[in-house]
Amino acid sequence: MVLGAGVLALSVIYIMQSGKRSELRRFEAGLTNGAESLRPRDSLIESFNALGFDVFAQLVKSHPGQNVLFSPASLAEALAMLSEGAAGSTRDEIAKTLRLSGSNLNSLALSNAAILKTLIPLDPALNLAFANGLWVNQNEGIASNYISRMEHFFGAQVRSVNFTSSDAPEILNQWISNKTCGRIQRIYPRPFDPNLEMILINTLHFKGEWMSPFDPATTHDAPFKLLNGETIRCPQMRRFVTAYHCNNPLFEAVQLMFNDGDLGLFKVNMVVMLPKDISHFDKFLDSLNTVNWTQWQQAFTLLGGSVTLPRFRISAQSDLVENLQACGIRNAFNSEKADFRPIGSSGLYVTECRQAVTIDVNEHGAEAAAATDITLGRGGPPPESFTMIINRPFVILICSDDTILFMAAVTDPR
């Protein structure tokens, strides 16, 4: 059986508060069919990608010389849901970090629904699915308007749960496992905090195979130079390709497709970016931003050539609080300034934001999983050819059309 490629992401928002509570009935709703506007949708994708580059830059700076993995799409979706429950300067800061203002901010929910709708694959051989869940303490009162917007614009399944029950962690673990096809199974190993009142969860699942798989028979150990100058040996895959390729004084890049894109709206690929000078790897990482990314995309041309790429499996876990604060979200983490009254309760503020990611790239495809945890508590035909040998630190981006799903800086493929 051929191993397929899979990309999974999980975003979780915990909300804790004490005080007067009322019974919440169970809700389940599918994604709305009423999102038609493409222009706001495209603007929101650009904003989400900008957030991804901002946070990725912060992660790289806080983890010098290390492998860095991150899911921009999952974090952006979680923050979009959170922003719907924020008000005042708290919402303004989240919106500014998401590059949203004016009409774009007002149409956030509608544009988000359009993104979710258009990301549904047209090719039955591919699977890309977002799932959002709103889990509420069975005795907590949440504003009906907030629940309605989560259901209507985010396709969220709204359910009540007794967080003090010993079974609660397993209930949520099973839901997450089902939504990610078993790839993310145990997010909650221990009982929940007794003050927990609500959890927002986003999952992202992609599965597919390379349009042109690598032949395992050609995989062999070859040298890979690390940032510290040491040379190691690792399994490297090789294949001839006809692919979009970019070559400039700063880097060389190739786009490896998971499907041929003939179906139009749904194109999934992995862009591998190889800096020219290993001693300037940090300088290259500093150049990663949405303006340069947009310009670089225009420079790719279809060429024939060969690609040698390490077969690797790496993982990383990051605390994103300081990174998001550096990007401009500050009041949300301040117990005295945070304002999440639209959710229906006062005194809430973000206490934690973490993301764990793992990625496996092999001859048949790529498999990745991410978990993002945001906790809220109470205040408290080619004319020329190329040969690209990726034998030193590189960067990858896994994209669905224009949306960046995952980013990674690979400094050591072991």
Domain CATH code at residue 136: 3.30.497.10
Same structural domain for residues 238 and 358?
Answer: no
Positive or negative, the Cα torsion across 340, 341, 344, 345? positive
pTM above 0.95, yes or no: no
Do residues 58 and 161 both lie within one domain?
yes
Query: 289-305 burial, b if ≥16 CB within 10 A, otherwise e?
Result: ebeebeebeeebeebeb
183 shares its domain with 227? no
248 and 364 both lie in a single domain: no
- 188/220 same-domain check: no
Distance CA 109, CA 129 (A): 18
Supply the pLDDT for residue 272: 93
pLDDT in tens, the chain (414 residues): 233 334 445 555 555 543 333 323 332 233 333 333 334 556 777 888 888 998 898 888 888 888 888 888 888 888 888 888 899 999 999 888 888 765 556 667 767 666 666 666 556 666 777 788 888 877 667 788 888 888 988 888 888 988 889 998 899 888 888 887 787 777 777 888 777 777 888 887 777 788 888 999 999 999 999 998 899 999 999 999 888 999 998 999 999 888 655 533 347 788 999 998 888 888 899 899 988 998 998 899 988 999 999 998 877 777 788 888 888 999 988 888 989 888 877 777 877 777 767 777 888 887 777 777 777 666 544 445 678 888 888 888 888 777 788 788 888 887
Q: Are residues 10 and 86 in the same domain?
A: yes
Q: Tell me the CATH number at 254.
A: 2.30.39.10
> Within this chain, do residues 336 and 393 fall inside the same structural domain, yes or no?
no
Task: Mark whether 93 and 163 lie in a shared domain.
Answer: yes
If asked whether residues 226 and 91 sit together in one domain, one would say no
Going by DSSP bridges, is the β-strand pair 251-257/268-275 parallel, antiparallel, or unpaired?
antiparallel
- 143 and 342 Cβ atoms separated by less than 8 Å: yes
Q: At what angle do helices 144-154 and 108-118 cross, to 10 degrees?
A: 30
Looking at residue 19, what is its pLDDT?
Answer: 38
Helix or strand or coil: residue 87?
Answer: coil
**Cα dist. 31→12, 129, 130, 238, 394 in Å?**
19, 11, 10, 41, 37
Long-range contacts of 186-192 (CB under 8 A, 24+ apart): 187/10, 187/12, 187/371, 187/373, 191/166, 192/163, 192/164, 192/168
Amino acid at 29: A
Query: Given this model, what pLDDT does residue 88 score?
Result: 92
d(CA 359, CA 346): 39
Q: Which domain holds residue 245?
A: 216-311+383-410
Which H/E stretch holds residue 257?
strand 251-257
Claim to verify: residue 388 and residue 345 sit in the same structural domain: no
Could you count the other beta carbons within 10 Å of the beta carbon of residue 124? 6
Q: Considering its fold, how many domains does the chain have in total?
A: 2
Residue type, 393: P
Do both 129 and 187 map to the same domain?
yes
Is 337 found in the same domain as 398?
no
